């Protein structure tokens, strides 16, 4: 547990303040790899969808949300999610196990990312 003085000293150095932020009650957070954020070959939608898949994955080594659920949670359309998922699969960021009609796919996030070639 941090001491009040330590928290106050940290707050004096902040330039972004999260008023009333409680990570547990706010649902936690997701760390996104910088190599994803800085990848100029991925669209904005693909980066957000990968981040959302990563947020689901913290409890499992595989994730299986429906695309409708993802679209609802990030404020997008299912068609945008579908296109972003295809992009992530083509670029090697995820593998997809299709389980059949009426069942959600299983998405496996790749832990080893090939460096961007410049």
Is residue 68 domain-resident? yes
Q: Which residues form the domain of 62?
A: 33-109
Q: Considering only residues 99 and 78, tell me which one the structure prediction assigns the higher pLDDT.
A: 78
Tokens 């998922």 locate to 85
Domain count, the chain: 1
Cβ atoms of residues 56 and 65 within 8 Å:
yes
CATH number of the domain enclosing 74: 1.10.10.10
Is residue 73 domain-resident? yes
Is residue 62 domain-resident? yes
Is residue 28 domain-resident? no
Q: How far is CA 57 from the centre of its chain?
A: 9
pLDDT in tens, 43-86: 999 999 999 988 888 766 666 678 898 999 999 999 999 999 99
Residue 106's beta-bridge partner residues? Answer: 97
Is residue 58 domain-resident? yes
Q: Considering only residues 86 and 21, tell me which one the structure prediction assigns the higher pLDDT.
A: 86
Is the pTM higher than 0.75? The answer reads no
How far is residue 94's CA from residue 50's CA, in Å, rounded to a whole number? 8
Of the pLDDT bands very low, low, confident and very high (cuts 50, 70, 90), residue 107 is confident
Is residue 98 domain-resident? yes
Is residue 12 domain-resident? no
Is residue 22 domain-resident? no
Transcribe the chain into DSSP letters: ---HHHHHHHHHH-SS--TT--TTTTT------HHHHT-TTS-HHHHHHHHHHHHHHTT-SSB---HHHHHHHHT--HHHHHHHHHHHHHTTSEEEE---TTS--EEEE-S--PPPP-
Per-residue pLDDT, 1: 47
């Amino acid at each position: 547990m941090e001491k009040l003085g330590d928290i106050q000293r940290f707050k004096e150095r902040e330039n972004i303040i999260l008023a009333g932020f409680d990570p547990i009650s706010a649902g936690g957070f997701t760390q996104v790899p910088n190599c994803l954020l800085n990848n100029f070959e991925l669209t904005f939608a693909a980066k957000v969808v990968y981040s959302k898949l990563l947020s689901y994955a913290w409890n499992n080594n595989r994730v299986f949300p429906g695309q409708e659920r993802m679209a609802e949670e990030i404020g997008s359309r299912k068609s945008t999610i579908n296109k972003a998922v295809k992009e992530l699969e083509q670029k090697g960021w995820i593998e997809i196990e299709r389980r059949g009609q009426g069942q959600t796919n299983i998405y496996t996030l790749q832990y080893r990312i090939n460096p961007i070639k410049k």
